Homo-oligomer: A and B are copies of this chain.
Amino acid sequence: MDRRDFLTTASAAIAAGAAAAPSAALATDHDHPMPPDWAEMARRNDQIVMVVYPGMTALDLVGPQYMFANVLGAKVHLVGKAHEPVACDTGFSILPTMTFTEAPAEPAVLFVPGGTTGTLSFIEDDESLGFVADRGARATYVTSVCTGSLVLAAAGLLTDYRATSHWVVRDLLRHGGAIPVDQRVVVDRNRVTGAGVSAGLDMGLHMVALMRGPDYAKACQLLAEYDPQPPFAAGTPAGAGPQATKLMDDMFAAFKERTVAVLRDRSRR
């Protein structure tokens, strides 16, 4: 039984509630009766487009990808500019599953991961940003993690929307027309943005709940054993303290300067 078989089964059983609990049918792996609403869920055909590009942060992508991959009745695509390995900023490469031209025209979800200089280069590439603008205009949900929200903003998809980003650049979203909010996950109409890197797990679970309901999302959470216990409380500027925060802020000075320039340049076009 692979992960998908399992979750399909588990979800069906959980949805059915106590009545469906330990039954003979559940004791086998591949022949589970499903309650009608979950059987219907499995027949959906949602297309999830996760954009991939050189220099992206792998964890920004893979946290939500785990959650999306477990959505019953949905298919996840890693969509890149070409059928070539995409080098992530932590030193390894992943393979796109399709290209911009092959991607579904009206996805249920458009997702963009973050990064640093690779993210700004992606924004400066007309073909890449054009793809995001096009699919973002048609997608049911438009989502991001970390500095991926800079891409959405540059594509004109966050104008007058509340949104978040990595704390170090969150306020710069204003230069792309968005309203920055200091929150782990921000949902404004159909725009769902997550904070820095690790926030992808929280954003992903929020999306599962929006797409398939809280009971289904809870099954995903149990499968992921997502009961986080970081050894320190240094995950935010407030937790890490003003000194560490100011140091990081100062050290991203050049990146922030370039981010402002890139966002302003895009908004003038």
Where the two chains meet, the residues of A that have a C-beta atom closer than 8 Å to any C-beta of B are 1-3, 6, 9-10, 13-14, 18, 21-22, 26-27, 29, 57-59, 62-63, 65-66, 69-70, 76, 78, 85, 89-95, 97, 116-117, 146, 166-167, 184-185, 195-199, 201-202, 205-206, 209, 214, 217-219, 221-237, 239-240, 243-248, 250-255
List, sorted by A's number, 6 A–B pairs whose CB atoms are closer than 8 Å. A6-B248, A27-B253, A199-B225, A205-B231, A206-B231, A218-B232
Q: Pick from B27, B62, B214, B230: contact of A202, CB below 8 A.
A: B230
Known A-B contacts A29-B254, A59-B63, A94-B94; A240 and B224 likewise in contact (beta carbons under 8 Å): no
- A50's nearest neighbour on chain B, judged by CB, is B92
CB-nearest residue of chain B to A145:
B225
Chain B residues within an 8 Å CB radius of A85? 95
Known A117-B2, A228-B202; judge A197-B236 contact (CB<8 A): no
Is there an interface contact between B234 and A222, defined as CB atoms closer than 8 Å?
Answer: yes
Copy number in the complex reads: 2
Q: Is the CB of A225 within 8 A of B235?
A: yes
- Say yes or no: A254-B1 contact (C-beta < 8 A), given A95-B94, A225-B236, A240-B222: yes
Residues of chain B with a CB closer than 8 A to A167's CB: 225
Query: Is the beta-carbon distance between A244 and B14 smaller than 8 angstroms?
Result: yes
Name the B residues within 8 Å of A27 (CB-CB).
250, 253
Partner of A10 from the list B3, B89, B197, B251 (CB cut-off 8 Å) is: B251
Q: Given A62-B62, A65-B90, A197-B226, list of 7 further CB < 8 A pairs? A: A1-B117, A63-B63, A69-B91, A218-B240, A222-B239, A223-B248, A228-B228
How many angstroms from the CA of A14 to the CA of B236 in the assembled complex? 15
Complex: chain B residue closest to A217, CB-CB: B232
CB of A197 within 8 A of CB of B223, answer yes
Cα A59 to Cα B2 with chains together (Å): 16
Check A69/B90 contact, CB under 8 A, given A21-B243, A184-B229, A244-B218: yes
